[in-house]
Structure 1
Amino acid sequence: MTDAAGRLAGLAKQALGRPLPLRLRAWDGSEAGPSDGPVLAIRDRRALHRVAWKPGELGLARAWVAGEIDVEGDLYEALERISGIVWGRGEAEPERHAVLRTLTALRDPRNLRLATEVLALAGPALPPAPPREEAARHRGPLHSLRRDRDAISHHYDVGNDFYSLVLGPSMVYSCAYWERPAATLEDAQRAKLDLICRKLGLQPGQRLLDVGCGWGSMVLHAVEHYGVEAVGVTISEEQAGLARKRLAEAGLTDRAEIRVQDYRETDDGPYDAISSIGMAEHVGSVQFRTYAETLHRLLKPGGRLLNHQIARRPLKDEDAYRIDEFIDRYVFPDGELAPVGTTTALLEDAGFEVRDVEALREHYALTLRAWVANLEKHWPDAVRLTTAGRARVWHLYMAASALAFEQNNIGVNQILAVRTTTGGNAKMPGTRGAWLYGTTQP
């Protein structure tokens, strides 16, 4: 026996200056660390090769996706324990993940001894090939039409049946709105769609454009319950196919249309209202001004935009923002998050008047936990419908994201903006109660 777990635990303590908060179980059967709580299982020494050849987040991600490392027990608890060394509590600015800093530091010649010991445990070998669930190399300029189509296909064209297991019958892939603690996921998603329709002030006969329409849930809800005519655009072929099928089954094809079309290719305005729900994270900083100007151009004067978007916390040095390697390679290629203040400023630069901002951070944590529960409940089917690696990607990313929202590391906001008339009129009642709930306005 090599006592690999004990040796790894010792190396981790040297590197971090504190013991790992999780028990380790290595491929040789050895164990080390605290006896309570979840266990970090290193099932294959190839995980060490991945970390040694690609120190940092990407090496760990590849080992996780390949099933070479795993968590036995409560994944949330494991991630929470690790989060004690992920963020510098009480500091002016959060630190980068301490473990990732240490792994990345293996490249530093000053840490040659640590790197040598890791490689000694790993044994001689070439770096393993990345798991096939990793996104292909990016092609073309950042956020060009072709590159965005490839990125969206990587994330969304993995099987509608797989997504139905995770999302449930609503097929809504964005933050729900939990009006009651005991609400079901379906109740909460229905409430979110209805909230957006009310914020947009939808009326029978109006034209709605849903940008990034997904599987058509917003289009279906708005047409069926608010009497609008709607167009949904997506650049995912699989999403569009199912969205069209759902419209046909509901008998609504004469009042709604689903297109495989980029928002930059949409030119049949004006629309009375535009919804963009969980889509703007894919736009990127280099295209966000174009995005805002395009939606402003497509709206009638007095028309409303509802932009529902995840936000990151602002940094003292915005140039220091780095896209998460795991998310970029395995989940949302080229996805970017911006602070809510940056988003509102860009919308106003494009000519919008921002009328309302509602933070829904806690709601997204609840939504993600519901999706994780669905995935865990249907795990064998999820693996059968995609791959074990793909299911592992979604399991980790959704569980970690739930904690990120709970810990206020990221947020999500609904921004209601208006294209005012030439005279500056927003054509809105003067109170939130009046335009949202129909109560008497002054």
Structure 2
Amino acid sequence: MDALIQVPYDATVRLMLSSLERNLLPDVVIRRLTRLLLASRLRWGYKPSSQLQLSDLLQFVHSLKDMPIAIKTDLPKSQHYELPTSFFKLVLGKNLKYSCCYFLDKSSTLEDAEKAMLELYCERAQIKDGQSVLDVGCGWGSLSLYIAQKFSSCRITGICNSKTQKAYIEEQCSYGWQSCIYKNHSFKPLLFLFESTYHSTSYFYKMIEVPLAHFCLVHIYNYRELKLQNVEIIVADISTFEMEASFDRILSIEMFEHMKNYKALLNKISKWMKEDSLLLVNYFCHKAFAYHFEDKNEDDWITRYFFTGGTMPAANLLLYFQDDVSVVNHWLVNGNHYARTSEEWLKRMDQNMASIKPIMESTYGKDSAVKWTAYWRTFFISVAELFGYNNGEEWMVALFLFKKKIN
């Protein structure tokens, strides 16, 4: 942008952000401004000729090979996971899948779409019972837990960068009794089923009388927890993590967008692959060009608060990094699936705002709770607008299936 235009433009953006921080911008305005920014990004990304488009992509490919595997690794972790798991339980689906879901039809719920995408991963990665599986960047374990339940003889190792995520997954893998005191006016044993407000989790309450007037002891058995013994979770920074183990299948869902040097990353991952292993990579992307998330101007809001150090790959970008792996298959998922996913997250956030407000206050402080509530809502709106742009045919999701290259 011309310097003479940039100054008043930045001033206008600052004014808009000031209004956003006070939660004064209507959603319709946020959506309109987001679409204007996306149109500007497309004008920047599309080149006048096919040769220039290819040259631009190749220049990006070569630049990545000179970078570290990841940069500013602590910032994305704090940006997304500073909020406790309780927030994401209120916003995401019951599997806590913090990535694109797959809506088979208009009637699909978020939970249906989570399951459909998890099933798609298993199908395309050719998961079979008895395999050893590595889930790189496992988040809250949506895929690890799904595979562990569906393929009970598989042995799953998940790598995440958050101790709270590890604790959540391990909690889901266990089960047991909890106890509390309940005031019982009837002095009779009671037995009933209670549906939790969180994700329709079923709890079995067994009431046992004790010699305390009007009180009894309640033992609570949580059937939602899974009693899984085939899941191990490791907390590590993937850019520096090393191990000697090898696996039959490796899957990575929306982690590559946080990385830079794909040559070094795929070399690292290939060392964990057996000779007949398969690697499934899922990342969001633009169909034609790639770019870095950089905080250069006032309107680089998403980068500043949610995606520092991130990358927007092109749909075919990994095809240029086949030094240690060879592509077996390559698929695209229309961006409307991600747009609808994020719209569902936004809707759940709005529906659960009474419960979310104290979480925001305890995390960011009362003085900043309104601002960060607006930021998170705007983040979900921006994701929906990004992937819904041009009917989902600009930004989308790519899946790659690789085999190990044997020299």
Where structure 2 has 5 or more consecutive residues not aligned to the other structure, the ranges are 46-66, 176-224, 361-368
Match of 1:342 in 2: 317
Can you list the C-alpha shifts for 1:279-313, whole angstroms capped at 9, x where unaligned? 111113xx322211111221112211111101135
C-alpha spacing 1:187/1:53, structure 2 compared with 1 (3 Å) = closer
Question: Does residue 231 of the first structure (1) align with residue 157 of the second (2)?
Answer: yes
Can you list the C-alpha shifts for 1:230-276, whole angstroms capped at 9, x where unaligned? 00111112211111111224454521101111224141331111111
CA RMSD of aligned residues (A): 3.1
Length-normalised TM-score, structure 2: 0.70
Match of 1:291 in 2: 265
**CA separation in 2, counterparts of 1:319 and 1:374?**
31
**CA separation in 1, counterparts of 2:272 and 2:280?**
13
C-alpha spacing 1:173/1:321, structure 2 compared with 1 (3 Å) = closer
Question: Does residue 218 of the first structure (1) align with residue 156 of the second (2)?
Answer: no
**CA separation in 2, counterparts of 1:367 and 1:245?**
26
Match of 2:238 in 1: 263
For 1:372-387, what aligned pairs fall within 5 Å after superposition? 372-386=346-360, 387=369
Question: Does residue 412 of the first structure (1) align with residue 397 of the second (2)?
Answer: yes
Of stretches 227-236 and 336-345 in structure 1, the one that deviates more from structure 2 is 336-345
C-alpha spacing 1:268/1:194, structure 2 compared with 1 (3 Å) = farther
Can you list the C-alpha shifts for 1:378-425, whole angstroms capped at 9, x where unaligned? 123222112332221111111122111111442211222222556xxx
Can you list the C-alpha shifts for 1:302-357, whole angstroms capped at 9, x where unaligned? 21111110113545xx78985672112211221111112222322x2332224222
**CA separation in 2, counterparts of 1:194 and 1:319?**
30
Where structure 1 has 5 or more consecutive residues not aligned to the other structure, the ranges are 1-14, 17-50, 97-141, 423-442
Q: Is the 8 Å Cα contact of residues 293 and 312 (structure 2) preserved in structure 1? A: no
**CA separation in 1, counterparts of 2:68 and 2:163?**
18
Q: Is the 8 Å Cα contact of residues 355 and 418 (structure 1) preserved in structure 2? A: no
C-alpha spacing 1:86/1:313, structure 2 compared with 1 (3 Å) = same
- Which residue of 236, 249, 254 corresponds with 1:273? 249
C-alpha spacing 1:251/1:186, structure 2 compared with 1 (3 Å) = closer
C-alpha spacing 1:291/1:60, structure 2 compared with 1 (3 Å) = farther
Match of 1:248 in 2: 174
Can you list the C-alpha shifts for 1:173-228, whole angstroms capped at 9, x where unaligned? 00011112201100110111111011111112211110111111111110110231
Q: Is the 8 Å Cα contact of residues 293 and 309 (structure 2) preserved in structure 1? A: no
- Which residue of 61, 70, 74 corresponds with 2:24? 70
**CA separation in 1, counterparts of 2:250 and 2:93?**
25
Match of 2:330 in 1: 356
C-alpha spacing 1:396/1:215, structure 2 compared with 1 (3 Å) = same
C-alpha spacing 1:198/1:144, structure 2 compared with 1 (3 Å) = closer
> Which gives a bigger RCO, structure 1 or 2 (Cα 8 Å, sep 6+)?
2
Flag the structure with higher strand content.
Answer: 2
**CA separation in 1, counterparts of 2:165 and 2:89?**
11
User: Following TM superposition, by how much is the alpha carbon of 1:168 offset from its aligned partner in structure 2, in angstroms?
Assistant: 2.8
SS in 2 for 1:238: helix
**Aligned residue identity for 2:265:** Y
SS in 2 for 1:70: coil
**CA separation in 1, counterparts of 2:270 and 2:9?**
47
SS in 2 for 1:230: strand
- Which residue of 112, 116, 125 corresponds with 1:191? 116
**Aligned residue identity for 2:377:** H
Match of 1:100 in 2: none
Q: Is the 8 Å Cα contact of residues 88 and 94 (structure 1) preserved in structure 2? A: yes
**Aligned residue identity for 1:410:** W
**Aligned residue identity for 1:209:** L
Match of 1:202 in 2: 127
Of stretches 210-219 and 149-158 in structure 1, the one that deviates more from structure 2 is 149-158
**CA separation in 2, counterparts of 1:84 and 1:230?**
41
Q: Is the 8 Å Cα contact of residues 387 and 396 (structure 2) preserved in structure 1? A: yes
Question: Does residue 399 of the first structure (1) align with residue 375 of the second (2)?
Answer: no
Q: Is the 8 Å Cα contact of residues 86 and 95 (structure 1) preserved in structure 2? A: no
User: Following TM superposition, by how much is the alpha carbon of 1:79 offset from its aligned partner in structure 2, in angstroms?
Assistant: 4.0
User: Following TM superposition, by how much is the alpha carbon of 1:154 offset from its aligned partner in structure 2, in angstroms?
Assistant: 2.7
User: Following TM superposition, by how much is the alpha carbon of 1:82 offset from its aligned partner in structure 2, in angstroms?
Assistant: 3.7
**Aligned residue identity for 1:78:** V
For 1:425-440, what aligned pairs fall within 5 Å after superposition? none
SS in 2 for 1:233: strand
Question: Does residue 169 of the first structure (1) align with residue 94 of the second (2)?
Answer: yes
User: Following TM superposition, by how much is the alpha carbon of 1:84 offset from its aligned partner in structure 2, in angstroms?
Assistant: 6.4
For 1:26-45, what aligned pairs fall within 5 Å after superposition? none
Q: Is the 8 Å Cα contact of residues 157 and 236 (structure 1) preserved in structure 2? A: no
Length-normalised TM-score, structure 1: 0.65
**CA separation in 2, counterparts of 1:359 and 1:144?**
26
**CA separation in 1, counterparts of 2:9 and 2:341?**
36
**CA separation in 1, counterparts of 2:333 and 2:93?**
24
C-alpha spacing 1:263/1:82, structure 2 compared with 1 (3 Å) = closer
**Aligned residue identity for 2:21:** A
Q: Is the 8 Å Cα contact of residues 160 and 238 (structure 1) preserved in structure 2? A: yes
**Aligned residue identity for 1:301:** E
Q: Is the 8 Å Cα contact of residues 250 and 279 (structure 2) preserved in structure 1? A: yes
User: Aligned residues, how many?
Assistant: 318
Task: Give me the identity figure in percent.
Answer: 23
SS in 2 for 1:328: helix
